Structures are given as C-alpha cells and as structure tokens.
Amino acid sequence: KQEVTQIPAALSVPEGENLVLNCSFTDSAIYNLQWFRQDPGKGLTSLLLIQSSQREQTSGRLNASLDKSSGRSTLYIAASQPGDSATYLCAPLQGGSEKLVFGKGTKLTVNP
Amino acid sequence: EPEVTQTPSHQVTQMGQEVILRCVPISNHLYFYWYRQILGQKVEFLVSFYNNEISEKSEIFDDQFSVERPDGSNFTLKIRSTKLEDSAMYFCASSVRWAPLGNEQFFGPGTRLTVL
C-alpha cells in the first residue's frame, strides 16, 4: 500500500528565501506525481504534474523534481512571497490505478 | 479559465439522512473523481467514474455511497444514510483523459459536510 510522507510538516521562512519541500513515497510504481497547494478551508490547486519519465518540471518560480526509483520528489520555491503561504501536498498517481495518494502536506508560512 | 464547481459549499445534516453533493466538472473532461478529507487528515480517494460507470473505488466507498452523472454536466455523490464519521470535506475532481496517460486532475473547492 502506497504511503506518502512529507517533511517538514511545517516551515516558516522570511520573504525572499528559496526553499525546498520534500515528499517521499514507498511504492515507486507510479504513473506521475502532482503537487498541489491548499489554502485554509479551500480546495486543492494543482501546481505541477511531473510524469514518471521526467526528472524535472518547472512553472514560474516552482520547480518539481522526481526520482522515482528512490521514491522521492521535491518542490523548490524560488524567492518566496507571503502569498505562497499555504499547505503544499504531493500526490503520486498509483500505478495500475486512477487514484492520487496524498501526503499530509507541508504547511508553509512566508513572513513579510 | 474553466474550473470545477461544487454545490453546496457547506451542508449540515442529521445522522441517518440522505445527502447529495453536486459537482460540475470542466466541460470537456471525461474522467471524474470524488475524494474526501476528514479534518486534520489526509485527502483520501473515494471513487473514479468514466463513461457512466465506476472505474475504481476505495474500501471507504461502501453501499452507502453512490455516484451518478444525471445529465451532461452534473456529477453527484449520494450518501444514503449519513453517519457522524462521514463529516468531512468532499472534493470533486476531473481530468481530460485517463489520468495515467498524464493528465492532471483538477479539483473543485469542496463541500463541507457536517453530520450532527
């Protein structure tokens, strides 16, 4: 059964810092992996999808990497802003399945 | 930009009552999903739906749950007899193609279900 762990659980940084959020998963048989942000009491906003055959995917200040064989993905946020404050979730798409399996997320606070 | 919409945003019901949660997926999407998130816990998959059939369901999705696409735009989740433990945020999602082919799942804003 796929288990997804995100470290750290919470992170507080000053505005302008570059930061890395980590995601690990136990079953490397995945089709792809999505990163989402969730604002308090709100839905999930898809940030990036990275295919299992890709190593990296970029969107603006965000860069996601994937090392499928070691069961790891990272989300790099450059030049963080207070508006980046949210919970970030990673979710691999399980092989042989259509379901995303979510971690508990990393709660990011960017202080002005 | 097209988005998934869900109604109502908040539903309060008494234990044992039936509820129907509604979703309007993005218009050209063919694959539909329900997930839920109990407060403070992970988002969990419930069911996927394609071509008017359930294509996959989790162990959570028991006989108390059903899904339907009653017309060309709506996608519904029905809980027949709600329990206290059904209290959660329910998210609808959709994708253009079969997700393993590489399409993102796009999520709605959620319906918060509170069972008293």
Burial A47-75 (b: 16+ CB within 10 A, else e): bbbbbbeeeebeeeebbbbbebeebebbb
Banded model confidence at residue A111, pLDDT cuts 50, 70, 90: very high
* Three-state secondary structure readout of B15-74: CCCCEEEEEECCCCCCEEEEEEECCCCCEEEEEEEECCEEEEECCCCCCCEEEECCCCCC
CB neighbours (10 Å) of residue B40? 6
pLDDT attached to residue A55: 93
Q: What DSSP character marks residue B85?
A: G
Contacts of A54 in chain B (CB under 8 A): none
Nearest CA in chain A to B32: A98
pLDDT tens digits for range A32-52 = 999 999 998 888 999 999 999
What is the per-residue pLDDT for A20? 96
pLDDT > 70 fraction of chain A, expressed in percent and rounded: 100
CB contact under 8 A, A93 and B100: yes
Of A49, A97, A103, which has the smallest distance from its Cβ to B42's Cβ? A103
Q: What confidence tens digit (pLDDT) does each residue in A67-76 have?
A: 999 999 999 9
Residues 6+ apart with CB under 8 A from A103: A4, A5, A6, A23, A89, A90, A91, B42
The reported pLDDT for the residue numbered B83 is: 96
Tens-of-pLDDT digits for all 116 residues of chain B?
Answer: 789 999 999 999 999 999 999 999 999 899 999 999 999 999 999 999 999 999 999 999 999 999 999 887 899 999 999 999 999 999 999 998 877 777 799 999 999 999 99
Q: Do B43 and A34 touch (CB under 8 A)?
A: no
